[in-house]
Amino acid sequence: MILKKQLSFILLFMAVLNGCANNTDRAAQSAEEASTVSVTVDHELYFSLPDEPGDIHSSEEFDFYVQTVAEGLSTPWGMAFLPNGSMLVTEREGNLRLIADGILVDEPVANVPEVKAQNQGGLLDVELHPDFERNGWIYMSYSKPDGESSMTAIFRAKYDSAAHALTDIEEIYVGHPFTERGHHYGSRIVFDHDGYLYFSIGDRGEMETAQDYNTSQGNLFRLHDDGSVPSDNPFVGEEEGLDEIFSYGHRNIQGMTVHPETGVVWTSEHGPRGGDEININNKPGANYGWPVITYGINYDGNIISEKSEEEGMEQPVMYWDPSIAPSGMAFITGDTYPGWEGSIMNGALSFQLLSRIVVDGEEYVKEERLLEGIGRIRDVQMGPDGYLYFANESDGTLNRLIPVE
């Protein structure tokens, strides 16, 4: 018996050595095989396909129609896809809504914190923890009230399906200072591939604050999932700058997504009259320039800055002039939309359309505009079912694009 065990150990040891010697070849082979693997997607995980298509629309690559999957929402702002086929949708007035078995549940989810639902404020974005199936954490942004003032805040909670209510609510971050102004809350939330939590707060209508990194206004933030500050954040240990800030000089980030290959955070933000931007946020401590540099002018026609470039300040991948008011953005992934792979889809509030931006790496190539006049598109996301979803706050609907085969 002892001899058999020793012989087995020797054979196992030789196999390990042989495996190590061929590790490079096997890794290369695995990578090659992985590149050819087709991931099966359940197209009806969240909603059944309609018996008949709707009105047919044409893009440069293929024809498609819009399927409305939920109606009766009040200013839908953010959405999150639960792994069980349900969805959570935030309504700006302060309600969190559940869509289960393809139906919008009548009663809002209970125990949502009080919000300051004024102007652009309210209950805003919602995002699941990357390990949601294990820990159940749901993250939301909102305008936290303090008398007549408010400020962007982030909390996390869990959903108790039996009680149809949030539980274990924890406040992750509260911006400062509070102000009575009712706009530029930012509030988009994403997790990158390393599990860091990113979120935005706008300049709150006071443009000069975006260059003051000792306040929360006009910034992109990076935290651990529990709200603690990563030790390698750019201003940790510095005399100036909040530890939680990742980049500054932002006017009002309203779209945020993570590049599916590089894991880098990309954002879209509102300019004034002209100068909406798409930016790549891959430089810790970077200054994105607002309002020192801008491609827009003030709403009254006055010049904000004569400069559109300045040494030490980042340039956008592209900018819109006139402004479309981009809100919500997502990289197109999978094979549902042939020819769109790798494009960035943006919602547009003022121009009421979907804007598909084609990029080559980090370079802008072209724009295609779709569904012009459909309504104010607040959020855009790729669903786990392979379809592109968008929230239309004009008619209170949630929709997805279905290609015509």
Q: How buried is residue 26: exposed, middle or buried, by Cβ count under 10 Å (0-12/13-18/19+)? A: exposed
> Over the range 200-230, which residues count as b (16 or more CB within 10 Å of their CB) and which as e?
bbbbbbbbebbbbbebbbbbbbbbebeeebb
Whether residue 175 lies inside any domain: the answer is: yes
Whether residue 363 lies inside any domain: the answer is: no
Average pLDDT over residues 356-372: 98
What pLDDT band is residue 39 in, cutting at 50, 70 and 90?
Answer: low
What pLDDT band is residue 42 in, cutting at 50, 70 and 90?
Answer: confident
Of the two residues 154 and 18, the one the predictor is more confident about is 154
How high is the pLDDT of residue 234?
Answer: 98
How many other CB atoms are there within 10 angstroms of residue 17's CB atom? 10
Average pLDDT over residues 316-345: 98
Interval 60-91: pLDDT, tens: 999 999 999 999 999 999 999 999 999 999 99
Instruction: Using the predicted structure, report yes or no on whether residue 161 has a pLDDT greater than 70.
Output: yes
Please tell me the least confidently modeled range out of 33-37, 176-180, 200-204.
33-37
Instruction: Using the predicted structure, report yes or no on whether residue 97 has a pLDDT greater than 70.
Output: yes
Instruction: Using the predicted structure, report yes or no on whether residue 367 has a pLDDT greater than 80.
Output: yes
Structural domain total, the chain: 1
Please report how many Cα atoms fall inside a 13 Å half-sphere around the Cα of residue 60, on the Cβ side: 11
Instruction: For residue 13, give both structure tokens.
Output: 């040891």
Instruction: Using the predicted structure, report yes or no on whether residue 404 has a pLDDT greater than 50.
Output: yes
Contact (CB, 8 A) for 372 and 356 = no
What pLDDT band is residue 153 in, cutting at 50, 70 and 90?
Answer: very high
Whether residue 318 lies inside any domain: the answer is: yes
Average pLDDT over residues 200-222: 98
Strand partners, 390: 380, 399
What pLDDT band is residue 31 in, cutting at 50, 70 and 90?
Answer: very low
Tell me if residue 184 is catalytic. yes
In this structure, the chain runs to a length of 405
Whether residue 248 lies inside any domain: the answer is: yes
Which of 176, 183, 184, 193 is catalytic? The answer is 184
Whether residue 29 lies inside any domain: the answer is: no
Whether residue 218 lies inside any domain: the answer is: yes
Write out the residue range of the structural domain in which residue 193 sits.
78-324
What pLDDT band is residue 41 in, cutting at 50, 70 and 90?
Answer: confident
Mean pLDDT of the chain: 92
Whether residue 360 lies inside any domain: the answer is: no
Give the integer Cα–Cα distance in Å for 4 and 138: 53
- Return the CATH number at 87: 2.120.10.30
Chain position carrying tokens 């001899």: 3
Whether residue 343 lies inside any domain: the answer is: no
